[in-house]
Amino acid sequence: MALECFKQSQPLTMGVELELQLIDPADLDLSASAPDLLHLLARGRFPGQVKPEITESMIEVATDVQREYGDLLAQLRRIRDALTQAGERLNVSICGGGTHPFQRWFNQRVFASPRFKQLSDLYGYLAKQFTVFGQHVHIGCGSADEAMFLLHALNRYVPQFIALSASSPYSQGEDTLFDSARLNSVFAFPLSGRAPFLLTWEDFDRSYFTKMEKTGVVKSMKDFYWDIRPKPEFGTIELRVCDTPLTVERAAQLACYLQAVCRHLLAREEPPPCEDDYLVYSYNRFQACRFGLDGIVVHPRTHESRPLREDILDTIERVGQHAAVLGGEAALAEIRSIAAREGNDAGFLRRMRAEEGSVQGIVDAAVRRFRERERGST
């Protein structure tokens, strides 16, 4: 199958996908409830899309194409309410978070569908280890070349999104000391990491995709697990590094922050991306995963080291006017508060562990947080 045509879309529109955890309220472990939940949801009108994920204790929801923070948030809240209500009817709790704190990977069941079966056969235990939960944000691109530009221009901002969204400090019952342990599961896949440095769609097709396809290693764009990948059938680029936050509010805010950063990059206010930007990429990404907002990142051009927190606050200043044009000021204000005061969800989960005294208490807190409306936001 040749590389698909890149379908044009309205620039800077957004779409959000969230992978969510299905929880057994009895012991707060993951619960293989996706088939029952999907069955029930299929009977009514769902305010978005809902589909299975690789294991039966996961579910994925997606919004429509949205332009503004308010509409995006409103739809995410309708999705959350529909899910919570369906869950209550079936005695299944639902929550965010990049990992389940104490599930055992070998207890997970692969969802019965040909694609997931095939992935499970290919990747073996990696498939079950992949019971991790991410937020994917799509940003619409006016052309394929614009998509390739944006994909690479964003490289320096990837650690910011990792740190802001990080909500997976616990894995298999232990504190990993990472803020985002989820990404360590993603790195295990052979086609993860970053996209090759090619700035036009034609180059990407000719010098990379067609050659890769000939090797037989890949068949479609779906086989790449890159941090950011082009999605030709939607006409978008897809940022895949975020952990699913504990609330849909934060999910919407992250998407709008990305939207504002993209508008800033498309205004070409920064020097264009170059291959050498990626010299510090993996290091910075590690810092963000491991230390979250306290991570120390190296600027690819100036080689200056500074805390991610400062880098984010600085970026917020620079993209403020773009957020205003896009109607995302409220979202930006929330992002500023995460960086400046509140901290990310990983910090919240660690506080819950200390307060509740058990890993089960963490899940209980996450379930409650997913359900409640955040105070003060629209």
Partner 1 sequence: MPDIVTAVLAEIAWPFALMLAWVVGELGHRWLTLPRVSSYGIVGFLLAAGQAGVLPHTREGPMAMLADAAFGLILFELGYRVHLGWLRANRWIAVTSVVEAFGCFVAVFFVARAFSVDMVRALLLASLSMSTSPAAVLRVANELRSSGQVTERTLHLSAFNCMLAVIAFKIVVGYGLLLDDGGILHAVWSSLVVLAVSAGVGVLFGVSVPRLLRLLGGMDRNATLAFAVAVLALTALTHGLRFSPLLAALAFGIVARHRRIVLSQAQRNFGALGDLLTILLFVFVAATIEWRQAAAGIWLALAVIGVRLMVKTAATTLFARASGIGWRKGALTGLALTPLSVFAILLLEQSRHLGLGLLDELKAIMAMVLLLEVIGPVVTQRALIWAGEALRREDG
Site for partner 1, rule CB under 8 A: 24-29, 31-33, 35-36, 39-40, 86, 88-91, 102, 104, 107-110, 112, 357-361, 364
Quick one: 173 or 376, whose CB is closer to partner 1? Answer: 173
Contacts of 358 (CB under 8 A, 6+ apart): none
How far apart are alpha carbons 320 and 166 in whole angstroms? 23
How far apart are alpha carbons 87 and 84 in whole angstroms? 5
- State in angstroms the smallest separation of the CB of 30 from partner 1: 9
- State in angstroms the smallest separation of the CB of 316 from partner 1: 39
Give the three-class secondary structure for 10: coil
- State in angstroms the smallest separation of the CB of 45 from partner 1: 16
- State in angstroms the smallest separation of the CB of 129 from partner 1: 14
Quick one: 86 or 151, whose CB is closer to partner 1? Answer: 86
Q: Residue 304: exposed, middle, or buried by beta-carbon count in 10 A (0-12, 13-18, 19+)?
A: exposed
- State in angstroms the smallest separation of the CB of 117 from partner 1: 8
- State in angstroms the smallest separation of the CB of 20 from partner 1: 17
Quick one: 171 or 180, whose CB is closer to partner 1? Answer: 171
- CA distances, 218 to each of 34, 46, 198, 234 (Å): 28, 33, 18, 20
Instruction: Name the β-bridge partners of 21.
Output: 58, 95
Contacts of 331 (CB under 8 A, 6+ apart): 69, 252, 253, 256, 257, 323
Quick one: 331 or 363, whose CB is closer to partner 1? Answer: 363
- State in angstroms the smallest separation of the CB of 88 from partner 1: 4
Q: What φ, ψ does residue 325 adopt, rounded to 5°?
A: -60, -35
Quick one: 141 or 352, whose CB is closer to partner 1? Answer: 352
Quick one: 123 or 283, whose CB is closer to partner 1? Answer: 123
Q: Residue 1: exposed, middle, or buried by beta-carbon count in 10 A (0-12, 13-18, 19+)?
A: exposed
DSSP states along 61-111:
EE---B-SHHHHHHHHHHHHHHHHHHHHHHT-EEE--SS-SS--GGG--B-
How far apart are alpha carbons 168 and 180 in whole angstroms? 5
- State in angstroms the smallest separation of the CB of 132 from partner 1: 18
Quick one: 35 or 190, whose CB is closer to partner 1? Answer: 35
Quick one: 109 or 299, whose CB is closer to partner 1? Answer: 109
Quick one: 33 or 259, whose CB is closer to partner 1? Answer: 33
- State in angstroms the smallest separation of the CB of 38 from partner 1: 12
